[in-house]
Amino acid sequence: MHSDIKFILISEEEIARRCRDLADAINHDYVGRQPVLVGLLKGSVPFMAELMKRITLNIEIDFMDVKSYVGTESCGDVQIIKDLDSSVLGDDIILVEDIIDTGRTLKKVRDLLYQKGARDVKIISLLDKPDRRVCDIKADYVGFEVPDAFVVGFGLDFNQKYRNLPYIGVLKDECY
Ligand code: 5GP
């Protein structure tokens, strides 16, 4: 275990097992369709990789990078840092996120994908903190519900560090 980690919340094995279950659910729900997996950079990268290798459908992948901020609207707004490479007109999209906290980012990105002409947008998130939600949004597929604590690892960072940890953990207090 990394010396900055206080404890492991979700192990590497638990994540792999859950990703297999989530991929099975997608394989079942999308029979006959070819969804586009859209990952939100950078946190979704390990989750996207673990998930997509278990999906047996013909899929495409794409990535967006957005920054969410609280502006005049109650659910905030997002600034697009990197847009999609391809058109999503008429596509079935599965939006892949590392964690849903307030729900601001996903609500805005989902709205944006519909504005771009997507046929359907579903959300999959590795982690969910339902107690923190301020926007009315719910993931269609969730890996794990987590308590209201700041977690790192498996894509999730603190000051851009710890994304490479193979598990989800809580940092020691002195690391903040
Ligand atoms: P939301 O728009 O749902 O409030 O924010 C989602 C984003 O906030 C996530 O993609 C992630 O970057 C960040 N975030 C929320 N909670 C945590 C956490 O516990 N740990 C880390 N590392 N990032 C978090």
pLDDT tens profile 5-14: 999 999 999 9
Q: Which fold has domain 12-149?
A: Rossmann fold (3.40.50)
CA of 31 to the centre of ligand 1 (A): 31
Q: What is the pLDDT of residues 109-143, one digit of tens each?
A: 999 999 999 999 999 999 999 998 988 999 999 99
Mean pLDDT, the chain, as a whole number?
95
Tell me the two tokens of residue 119.
């046929």
The answer to whether residue 74 scores a pLDDT higher than 80 is no
The token pair that represents 61 in the structure block: 């992948």
pLDDT in tens, 47-67: 999 999 999 999 999 999 999
Ligand 1: residues with CB < 6 A are 43, 68, 97-105, 150-152, 156-158
Can you give the pLDDT at residue 48? 98
User: Domain map of the chain by residue range?
Assistant: 12-149
Q: Which residues are known catalytic residues? A: 101
Q: Are 8 and 169 in contact (CB under 8 A)?
A: yes
Distance CA 124, CA 104 (A): 15
Reduce the DSSP state of residue 149 to 3 states and report it.
Answer: coil
Q: How many CB atoms lie within 10 A of CB 172?
A: 13
Closest CA to 58 of 13, 9, 91, 12: 91
Question: Which among 6, 98, 151 is the best mutation to test ligand 1's pocket, defined by most ligand atoms within 8 Å of the CB?
Answer: 98
Take atom 23 of ligand 1 and give the residue whose Cα is closest: 156
Q: What's residue 73's pLDDT?
A: 63
Give the pTM: 0.96
Residue 29: Cβ within 10 Å count: 14
Distance CA 62, CA 85 (A): 7
- Measuring CA to CA, how many Å separate 87 from each of 83, 90, 117, 152? 10, 9, 9, 32
